Structure 1
Amino acid sequence: MKTTIEISDSLLAKIKALAARRKATLRTMVEEGLRLLLRQSATRHAYRFEDTTFDGEGLQPGIREGDWETIRDRIYEGRGS
Protein backbone atom coordinates (compact mmCIF):
# COMPACT_ATOMS: atom_id res chain seq x y z
CA MET A 1 0.00 0.00 0.00
CA LYS A 2 1.28 3.46 -0.77
CA THR A 3 0.98 6.39 1.58
CA THR A 4 2.53 9.81 1.97
CA ILE A 5 4.12 11.05 5.18
CA GLU A 6 6.09 14.15 6.09
CA ILE A 7 9.45 13.53 7.74
CA SER A 8 11.91 16.15 8.93
CA ASP A 9 14.87 16.67 6.62
CA SER A 10 17.42 15.73 9.27
CA LEU A 11 15.61 12.50 10.20
CA LEU A 12 15.24 11.52 6.55
CA ALA A 13 18.95 12.12 5.92
CA LYS A 14 19.90 9.97 8.92
CA ILE A 15 17.61 7.10 7.97
CA LYS A 16 18.78 7.20 4.34
CA ALA A 17 22.41 7.02 5.49
CA LEU A 18 21.60 4.08 7.77
CA ALA A 19 19.72 2.35 4.96
CA ALA A 20 22.71 2.79 2.65
CA ARG A 21 25.08 1.29 5.24
CA ARG A 22 22.73 -1.69 5.66
CA LYS A 23 22.14 -1.96 1.91
CA ALA A 24 18.42 -1.63 2.61
CA THR A 25 15.63 0.43 1.15
CA LEU A 26 13.96 3.35 2.85
CA ARG A 27 10.74 1.34 2.81
CA THR A 28 12.43 -1.52 4.69
CA MET A 29 13.76 0.89 7.30
CA VAL A 30 10.38 2.55 7.86
CA GLU A 31 8.61 -0.81 8.12
CA GLU A 32 11.24 -2.10 10.56
CA GLY A 33 10.81 0.99 12.73
CA LEU A 34 7.03 0.70 12.73
CA ARG A 35 7.18 -3.00 13.62
CA LEU A 36 9.55 -2.23 16.47
CA LEU A 37 7.16 0.40 17.85
CA LEU A 38 4.24 -2.02 17.62
CA ARG A 39 6.19 -4.76 19.45
CA GLN A 40 7.23 -2.37 22.22
CA SER A 41 3.69 -1.11 22.56
CA ALA A 42 2.31 -4.64 22.82
CA THR A 43 4.74 -5.67 25.58
CA ARG A 44 4.19 -2.67 27.83
CA HIS A 45 1.94 -3.22 30.79
CA ALA A 46 0.28 -0.63 32.93
CA TYR A 47 2.30 0.08 36.07
CA ARG A 48 0.68 -1.36 39.16
CA PHE A 49 1.52 -0.36 42.70
CA GLU A 50 2.39 -3.18 45.04
CA ASP A 51 -0.07 -3.56 47.90
CA THR A 52 1.82 -2.19 50.91
CA THR A 53 -1.01 -1.92 53.39
CA PHE A 54 -0.29 -2.88 56.97
CA ASP A 55 -2.13 -3.34 60.23
CA GLY A 56 -2.07 -0.47 62.63
CA GLU A 57 -4.18 1.98 64.52
CA GLY A 58 -3.73 5.05 62.36
CA LEU A 59 -1.77 8.15 63.22
CA GLN A 60 0.08 8.54 66.48
CA PRO A 61 -1.46 10.71 69.18
CA GLY A 62 -0.79 14.40 68.62
CA ILE A 63 -0.63 14.19 64.81
CA ARG A 64 -3.52 15.39 62.68
CA GLU A 65 -4.05 13.94 59.20
CA GLY A 66 -2.39 16.24 56.68
CA ASP A 67 -0.15 17.89 59.30
CA TRP A 68 3.00 17.29 57.26
CA GLU A 69 5.14 19.72 59.24
CA THR A 70 4.58 17.76 62.46
CA ILE A 71 5.06 14.45 60.66
CA ARG A 72 8.36 15.66 59.17
CA ASP A 73 9.51 16.94 62.57
CA ARG A 74 8.77 13.54 64.14
CA ILE A 75 10.64 11.70 61.37
CA TYR A 76 13.79 13.79 61.90
CA GLU A 77 13.48 14.05 65.69
CA GLY A 78 16.86 13.33 67.28
CA ARG A 79 18.73 13.27 63.94
CA GLY A 80 20.70 16.47 63.94
CA SER A 81 19.93 20.15 64.22
Structure 2
Amino acid sequence: MRTTIAIDDALLDQLKVRAARENTTVSALIEEDVRLGELRRAQQSDPGRGRFRLRAFDLGRPKPGVDLNNNAALLDLMDNE
Protein backbone atom coordinates (compact mmCIF):
# COMPACT_ATOMS: atom_id res chain seq x y z
CA MET A 1 0.00 0.00 0.00
CA ARG A 2 1.25 3.44 -0.80
CA THR A 3 0.86 6.38 1.59
CA THR A 4 2.41 9.77 2.26
CA ILE A 5 3.94 10.78 5.58
CA ALA A 6 5.60 13.95 6.85
CA ILE A 7 9.05 13.27 8.28
CA ASP A 8 11.77 15.50 9.67
CA ASP A 9 14.47 16.25 7.08
CA ALA A 10 17.34 15.31 9.42
CA LEU A 11 15.65 12.01 10.26
CA LEU A 12 15.12 11.26 6.58
CA ASP A 13 18.80 11.94 5.92
CA GLN A 14 19.75 9.49 8.69
CA LEU A 15 17.42 6.87 7.20
CA LYS A 16 18.93 7.32 3.75
CA VAL A 17 22.43 6.77 5.13
CA ARG A 18 21.27 3.70 7.07
CA ALA A 19 19.45 2.32 4.03
CA ALA A 20 22.57 2.67 1.88
CA ARG A 21 24.72 1.05 4.58
CA GLU A 22 22.28 -1.89 4.99
CA ASN A 23 21.65 -2.17 1.22
CA THR A 24 17.88 -1.68 1.57
CA THR A 25 15.28 1.03 0.99
CA VAL A 26 14.07 3.82 3.24
CA SER A 27 10.55 2.38 2.92
CA ALA A 28 11.72 -1.02 4.15
CA LEU A 29 13.46 0.58 7.14
CA ILE A 30 10.39 2.61 8.07
CA GLU A 31 8.15 -0.45 7.76
CA GLU A 32 10.48 -2.55 9.91
CA ASP A 33 10.80 0.15 12.58
CA VAL A 34 7.05 0.73 12.75
CA ARG A 35 6.46 -3.02 13.00
CA LEU A 36 8.96 -3.30 15.89
CA GLY A 37 7.37 -0.31 17.61
CA GLU A 38 3.92 -1.88 17.35
CA LEU A 39 5.26 -5.15 18.74
CA ARG A 40 6.76 -3.32 21.73
CA ARG A 41 3.50 -1.49 22.37
CA ALA A 42 1.55 -4.74 22.25
CA GLN A 43 3.93 -6.33 24.74
CA GLN A 44 3.72 -3.31 27.07
CA SER A 45 -0.08 -3.34 27.02
CA ASP A 46 -0.05 -7.03 28.02
CA PRO A 47 2.75 -7.28 30.60
CA GLY A 48 2.32 -11.04 31.05
CA ARG A 49 2.77 -11.76 27.38
CA GLY A 50 6.13 -13.12 26.35
CA ARG A 51 7.38 -13.52 29.91
CA PHE A 52 8.33 -16.75 31.56
CA ARG A 53 9.58 -17.97 34.89
CA LEU A 54 13.04 -19.40 35.10
CA ARG A 55 13.20 -22.14 37.68
CA ALA A 56 16.34 -22.22 39.79
CA PHE A 57 17.90 -25.34 41.22
CA ASP A 58 20.38 -25.68 44.06
CA LEU A 59 23.08 -28.04 42.85
CA GLY A 60 25.20 -27.59 45.93
CA ARG A 61 28.74 -26.34 46.14
CA PRO A 62 31.32 -26.87 43.39
CA LYS A 63 33.81 -29.71 43.70
CA PRO A 64 37.00 -28.88 45.59
CA GLY A 65 39.54 -27.14 43.38
CA VAL A 66 36.93 -25.90 40.85
CA ASP A 67 37.24 -22.18 40.13
CA LEU A 68 33.98 -20.91 38.60
CA ASN A 69 35.79 -17.76 37.44
CA ASN A 70 38.22 -19.71 35.23
CA ASN A 71 36.44 -20.65 31.97
CA ALA A 72 39.38 -22.58 30.51
CA ALA A 73 39.75 -24.73 33.64
CA LEU A 74 36.00 -25.41 33.68
CA LEU A 75 36.05 -26.52 30.04
CA ASP A 76 39.02 -28.81 30.73
CA LEU A 77 37.22 -30.29 33.73
CA MET A 78 34.03 -30.91 31.72
CA ASP A 79 35.98 -32.49 28.85
CA ASN A 80 37.77 -34.85 31.24
CA GLU A 81 34.63 -36.05 33.00
Provide TM-score, normalisation by structure 2: 0.54
Q: CA-atom RMSD, angstroms?
A: 1.5
Q: Which amino acid aligns with 1:38?
A: E
How far apart are residue 45 of structure 1 and its match? 3.9
Distance in 1 (CA, whole Å) between partners of 2:38 and 2:22 is 22
In the alignment of these two chains, the number of paired residues is 47
Q: Which amino acid aligns with 1:32?
A: E
Higher-Rg member (1/2): 1
Q: Which amino acid aligns with 2:28?
A: T
How far apart are residue 2 of structure 1 and its match? 0.6
Provide TM-score, normalisation by structure 1: 0.54
- Identify unmatched segments of 5+ residues in structure 1: 48-81
In the other structure, the counterpart of 2:32 is 32
**1:1-60 Cα deviation digits (max 9, x unpaired):** 11000101000000110010000011110100110111100110478xxxxxxxxxxxxx
Structure 1's consecutive aligned runs of 4 or more residues displaced over 4 angstroms after TM superposition are none
In the other structure, the counterpart of 1:21 is 21
| Counterpart secondary structure, 1:13 | helix
- Identify unmatched segments of 5+ residues in structure 2: 48-81
